[in-house]
Amino acid sequence: MPDIRFTSAAVIGTGMMGPGIALTLALGGLRTTILSRTPEGAAKGMEKARAQARFLAANLLVDGSVAARAAESLAGSAAFDETIATADLVIESGPEDMTFKQELFARMDGLTPRAILATNTSGLSITAMASRCARPERVLTTHFWNPPHLMPLVEIVKGDRTSAETAAAVRDLLQACGKTPVVVRKDRPGQLGNRLQMALVREAAHIVAEGIADANDVDTVVKNGLGLRMPAYGTLEHMDMAGLDMALSILDYVAQDLYNEPQAPAQFRERVRNGNLGVKTGKGFYDWSAKSADAVRAGRDAFLVEVLRYRRAAGIAAT
């Protein structure tokens, strides 16, 4: 593959993730177009991204002049074919539906002979997604973590035929955009971060099902114990620091009582069967008529801002 350079990008999707991804690329100096089915949808996506730029500047996470330039380099469009044909990088953030994504990538592959095509999927196979593309070596996953304008992590997942040059070029770009990318070498369900997260989620649900603790106490332990320490102290770092001999004996003992079934715990199935889907229905593990989802999100974002500001002031690398 020839030398890969990025000057322009397109982001498909104006929902939860698309505007933040577009802003990230614009902060890295790319002319970035937010694509939607309608001009009105594209305009709304662009305004979300610009509001996020103002938020970053107001919280001293990005210099005001940089945020302003990024906001000005954003555009919105419903002209799908023309935008894809002229972009150096395309990131789609559409529904988590394999058929939809396969059809979308096949269409994009036919529109551009040079662009790198990426998906923001949180777990679907990029190898399967690229199976109908004539140039699968330039297709990969860029899984931004939510909220994408704040979270540093982006998982770059290589498909079976993704070239090393493609992955390296996207990694370097995302670093230049201020993100912390990791390259996931094998295309496996859940990628990297979600494999770790789902192991915790299923054990948390199992603990509630077994009556060991209730949901609030489980989350209190996560937020005030391991979760508070993890931003500066990784899981395997902790094992090394504690000593692998001691960790081995604890693992052998505890593993016998962990949830190890190759399926979601019964707690999830029971709640979904009963229509208790969480915030969207008002009840899940919590009663959301007595708990504010907006307040939880605001608290999350405020915490992230403080951590990121501290890292920036202290010059701490996010690795």
User: Are 49 and 75 within 8 A, CB to CB?
Assistant: no
Domains, the chain, ordered by start = 8-184 (3.40.50.720), 197-288 (1.10.1040.10)
- Assign 2 a pLDDT band (cuts: 50, 70, 90): low
Q: What is the pLDDT of residue 157?
A: 98
Tell whether the model's pLDDT for residue 3 goes beyond 80.
Answer: no
| CA distance readout (Å), 32 to 73, 109, 220 | 6, 19, 40
What does the pLDDT look like over 175-195, one tens digit per residue? 999 999 999 999 999 999 999
Percent above pLDDT 90 for the chain: 91
What does the pLDDT look like over 99-134, one tens digit per residue? 999 999 999 999 998 899 999 999 899 999 999 999
Tell whether the model's pLDDT for residue 319 goes beyond 70.
Answer: no
What does the pLDDT look like over 243-271, one tens digit per residue? 999 999 999 999 999 999 999 988 889 99
Q: What is the pLDDT of residue 266?
A: 86
Instruction: Give residue 14's Cα distance to chain centre.
Output: 15
Find the angle CA(59)-CA(61)-CA(6) to the nearest 5 degrees: 140
Tell me what the mean pLDDT of segment 53-77 comes to.
96
- Total number of residues shown for the chain: 319
Alpha-helical (H) ranges within 73-146 are 80-86, 98-111, 126-129
- Angstrom distance (rounded) from CA 145 to CA 17: 9
Tell me what the mean pLDDT of segment 209-229 comes to.
95
Indicate yes or no: pTM above 0.75: yes
Tell whether the model's pLDDT for residue 1 goes beyond 80.
Answer: no
Percent above pLDDT 70 for the chain: 98
Strands 153-158 and 139-144: antiparallel
Mean pLDDT of the chain: 95
> Residue 267's closest CA among 214, 206, 186?
206
DSSP states along 9-43: EEEE--SSSHHHHHHHHHHTT-EEEEE-SSHHHHH
User: Are 94 and 104 within 8 A, CB to CB?
Assistant: yes
- Assign 34 a pLDDT band (cuts: 50, 70, 90): very high
